[in-house]
C-alpha cells in the first residue's frame, strides 16, 4: 500500500508527532512547516485534512474528547478573547513568517481559500475535511492531488485564547484522507 511520509524538512525522516510547546494565554505558537509526500506509482487524489480527538494513547491533562471539543470551541468563538485553536495554512510560499494578517484568519474569518482554523463544519470531521490546496507544491496542478514524486508543504500553528483559564497539555490528531489506485 502506498506510504505517506510526514516530515519537518524536505525529504526528511518521518515524524511520529508534532509538539507545539508550552504557551501562555493569548500566545501563538511558532509556525511549524510540515512536508508531505508519498511513494505511490500513481498520484494520490482527493487529499484532504481533518482533525479528530487524539487517537491512541492520550497523555494530555484532561481527556481526548474534552480537548477536541474545547479546541473546536476556540475556533468557533467569535469574540476575540475566546477565539483560537489550531490553524492550517496551505500556501507556504506566500506566508513564511508569523503574521496574523498574512494568514488572514481571525475570530471573524475562520477559513479562506488556502487556510483555516479548525471549527465546527470545517476540518472537524471526516465529513468536513478540507481539500488540500495546489499551492502546497509547485508540482501540484489540481487541488487535492499530489502527483508521483511531488512533495507538498503546509504550515500549522496554535493560538491560545486570552480568556483561557485552564492550564494543561492538550492533544489532537490531524488526519489526511486520500484516494489511491495501485
Partner 1 sequence: MKSGWIKKYTNKAPLLGADTDVYTGKVSWSKTQLDNMIGAALQHKGKIIEIAGVGNYWQSDTLQVEIGSTKKSFVSRRLKKQILSENKFLIIKETPNKFLCYFANSIKKDPNITVVPVDEKSIGKWFTLEMKAGNLAIAYFYTDKP
Residues that bind partner 1 (CB under 8 A): 1-4, 6, 14-18, 34, 41-42, 46, 55, 126, 173-182
- CA–CA distance, 169 with 163 (Å, rounded to integer): 16
Q: What minimum distance in Å lies between the beta carbon of 90 and partner 1?
A: 14
- CA–CA distance, 61 with 59 (Å, rounded to integer): 7
Kindly tell me which of 55 and 109 has the beta carbon lying closer to partner 1.
55
Kindly tell me which of 14 and 149 has the beta carbon lying closer to partner 1.
14
Kindly tell me which of 43 and 77 has the beta carbon lying closer to partner 1.
43
* CB 129, CB 49: distance < 8 Å: yes
* CB 52, CB 173: distance < 8 Å: yes
Coil, strand or helix at 2: coil
Structure-block grid coordinates of residue 64: 481526548
Return the ∠ at Cα 128 (arms to 52 and 13), rounded to 5°.
Answer: 50
Q: What minimum distance in Å lies between the beta carbon of 101 and partner 1?
A: 27
Q: What minimum distance in Å lies between the beta carbon of 15 and partner 1?
A: 5
Kindly tell me which of 14 and 121 has the beta carbon lying closer to partner 1.
14
Nearest to 111, CA basis, from 92, 136, 93, 128: 128
Q: What minimum distance in Å lies between the beta carbon of 52 and partner 1?
A: 8
* CB 178, CB 164: distance < 8 Å: no
Kindly tell me which of 30 and 81 has the beta carbon lying closer to partner 1.
30
Amino acid at each position: 500500500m502506498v506510504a505517506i511520509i510526514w516530515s519537518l524538512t524536505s525529504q526528511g525522516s518521518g515524524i511520529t508527532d508534532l509538539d507545539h510547546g508550552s504557551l501562555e494565554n493569548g500566545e501563538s505558537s511558532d509556525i511549524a512547516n510540515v512536508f508531505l509526500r508519498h511513494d505511490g506509482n500513481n498520484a494520490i487524489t482527493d487529499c484532504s485534512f481533518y482533525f479528530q480527538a487524539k487517537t491512541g494513547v492520550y497523555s494530555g491533562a484532561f481527556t481526548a474528547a474534552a480537548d477536541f471539543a474545547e479546541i473546536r470551541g476556540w475556533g468557533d468563538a467569535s469574540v476575540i478573547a475566546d477565539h483560537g485553536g489550531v490553524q492550517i495554512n496551505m500556501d507556504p510560499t506566500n506566508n513564511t513568517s508569523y503574521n496574523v494578517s498574512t494568514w488572514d484568519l481571525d475570530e471573524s474569518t475562520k477559513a479562506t481559500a488556502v487556510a483555516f482554523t479548525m471549527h465546527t463544519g470545517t476540518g472537524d470531521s471526516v465529513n468536513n475535511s478540507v481539500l488540500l490546496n495546489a499551492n502546497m507544491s509547485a508540482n501540484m496542478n489540481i487541488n487535492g492531488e499530489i502527483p508521483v514524486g511531488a512533495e507538498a508543504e503546509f504550515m500549522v500553528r496554535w493560538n491560545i485564547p486570552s480568556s483561557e483559564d485552564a492550564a494543561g497539555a492538550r492533544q489532537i490528531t490531524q488526519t489526511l484522507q486520500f484516494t489511491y489506485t495501485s
